[in-house]
Amino acid sequence: GKGGPMNAAVVRASRALPLRRVTPSMMDPNARALRGVKEMKSCAILGKGKKIYVGNLPRDVPPVDLANLVRRACEAEYGEVGHVRVAHTADDRRRRNKSRDPTKLNEGYCFVRFKDESSAERAMRGLGGNEAPAGLAFGGGALRVEWARDTHSEDVDEKLLQQKRDERRKRNEHKARQRKRNKVREVDEIREILQRVPPPGGSEASNLFKELGECKTLVQGAMDRSDPQGETHPALDPETFSIDWSKVPVECDPGAGEWYGSKNEDHVKRRRERKRDQVQSFALVLSHLVAAARRTGTKDLTGPGVPQVRVVDFGSGSGALTLPLAFLFPKVSFHALDMKPKAIELLLEKAEKGGLRNLTASGGMIENFDQEFDIGLALHACGNATDYSMVQAVKNRASFAFCPCCVGKLKFSLEGGSSFSAKHKNYIDLPDQPGESSVLEHPRSEWMRKSVSQKQFALIAKAGDISHGCDQESHGQSHGYDDLARTCKANIEFDRSMYAAENK
């Protein structure tokens, strides 16, 4: 009624409140949410219906009392009300256990369902006006009134609903056909681009990598060399280059410890094996490069006649590659570089627990690294991180062994950005560094720039950016053009190699 104690309490506490998102648990328990049709709104598609939303209600009134107040006011002015639901925090499971203002007893809005549509229409006109009816004239401003977005089954025009569903299905099918036609045109354009790339690149580039087999030349070269200093740990077999992981500290084993983020034991097992295989492959190549570096006679740091080879791992992360290699090559000096300070902190912690004395680390961007080194390594250096690693190797006239990934992220580099952003040149946790980083040019080599434009290079990089791993299908990364993707990836790597050859 008018001027009662409940109305007075409402007037004291009310104020203008924002519209809150309605969760399914707040809806009329007898209603059906039509989530399958995005544009479905009762006022526009299903008719006006019998249910309205009323917002800008006071929050310091208990939900039951506020529902009774709204019911009495609406029935006195507009017609019989079937149901009133006041939204409150207990309705939302995501917010139920969070701290909240104890004075806010409800969410500031409710849903009112009338017995007939004419009553709902009168309520829409009356409550939405400048002057609210007696009993709902709160002091916080005009009420906010809308047709309810969730709709009772009685209000649904099934014929109109099916028509909207059919229209949406046809629209989606049309878009799917468009995407397919665009993909076919893009693939044809890429094939044409690859035809213009001179050997060893082009459309047959991936076949050259297949012919390498198991790098038998490197294996034979490493097995034939002598090792007078005993520079490798006994855990690394000098003949087969297999690693006895039982002799490697847990902190230095990328396949040890707890694994998070996957409950699939087979997937975890494959990842363990793959990471260990990566270390073994790098150990084989590094052994060959270390022997070659020793023959060049770098600066003597460990004693007469024993030059120390300096190795830098660019984009080391928390040390999945650096730590085991530093353990297996105790007479080689390793330095780990990563843009994430937390990763470097974790790496140094593992190195200390593993008893490594030949490993240092620092945080920073690869392009700003200013120390001299003899061999550069990079495993999974995303996008232009591999290119900046190669720039550093060329500048220091150092050997290198890189295993690139995420060539699709070269799109950031093509826009003058970094390996992770087109806009940001520095990782957020790193302090500002003086000077501006150089902008890389793509394609990297003169060899490819003669036949491929930057725009065409971007298409090649985009097409080459898929997984080629053993569990590719289990992750749904096969897109029907796997051979083309491998060919594009091979051309990207030939371009990088040609850049290094042109600047040696």
Domain ranges of the chain: 5-156, 227-406
Which own/partner pairs from 464-469 qualify as long-range (CB within 8 Å, at least 24 positions apart)?
464/407, 464/408, 464/488, 464/489, 464/491, 464/492, 465/406, 465/407, 465/408, 465/409, 469/274
pLDDT number for residue 423 = 79
Residue 467 in this model has a pLDDT that exceeds 90: no
Q: Which CATH class is domain 227-406?
A: alpha beta
Q: How would residue 456 be classed by pLDDT, with cut points 50, 70 and 90?
A: very high
Q: 168-184: b or e for each residue (b if 16 or more CB lie within 10 Å)?
A: eeeeeeeeeeeeeeeee
- Of residues 470 and 194, more confidence is placed in 194
pLDDT number for residue 61 = 87
pLDDT number for residue 306 = 52
Q: Is 65:6 a contact under the CB 8 Å cutoff? A: yes
Dihedral over alpha carbons 441, 443, 446, 448 (to 10 degrees): -170
Architecture of the structural domain at 5-156: 2-Layer Sandwich (3.30)
Helix (H, G, I), strand (E, B) or coil at 416: coil
pLDDT number for residue 91 = 60
Q: How would residue 417 be classed by pLDDT, with cut points 50, 70 and 90?
A: confident
Q: How would residue 230 be classed by pLDDT, with cut points 50, 70 and 90?
A: low
Whole-angstrom distance, CA of residue 488 vs CA of residue 476:
20
Residue 188 in this model has a pLDDT that exceeds 70: yes
The neighbouring-strand residues paired with 54 are 110, 145
Q: Which of 268-272, 357-361, 498-502 has the lowest mean pLDDT?
A: 268-272
Q: What are the pLDDT digits (tens) for 133-158? A: 666 766 667 888 888 876 555 555 67
Amino acid letter at 247?
Answer: K
| Strongest mean pLDDT among 5-9, 80-84, 207-211 | 80-84
The neighbouring-strand residues paired with 236 are 243
Q: What number of H helices and E strands is found in the chain?
A: 15, 11
Q: Which of 143, 106, 139 is nearest to 8 (CA)?
A: 139
The neighbouring-strand residues paired with 153 are none
DSSP 243: B
The neighbouring-strand residues paired with 86 are 110
Distances (CA, A) of 479 to 180, 353, 397, 406, 464: 12, 44, 39, 16, 11
Distances (CA, A) of 363 to 343, 368, 390: 9, 10, 18
pLDDT number for residue 262 = 54
pLDDT number for residue 494 = 92
Q: How would residue 258 be classed by pLDDT, with cut points 50, 70 and 90?
A: low
Instruction: Return mean pLDDT, the chain.
Output: 78
The dihedral built from the CA positions of residue 11, 15, 17 and 23, taken in this order, carries a sign that is negative
CA of residue 174 relative to chain centroid, distance? 29
By DSSP bridging, strand 375-382 and strand 399-405 are parallel
- Of residues 18 and 331, more confidence is placed in 331
Residue 14 in this model has a pLDDT that exceeds 50: no
The dihedral built from the CA positions of residue 206, 208, 292 and 286, taken in this order, carries a sign that is positive
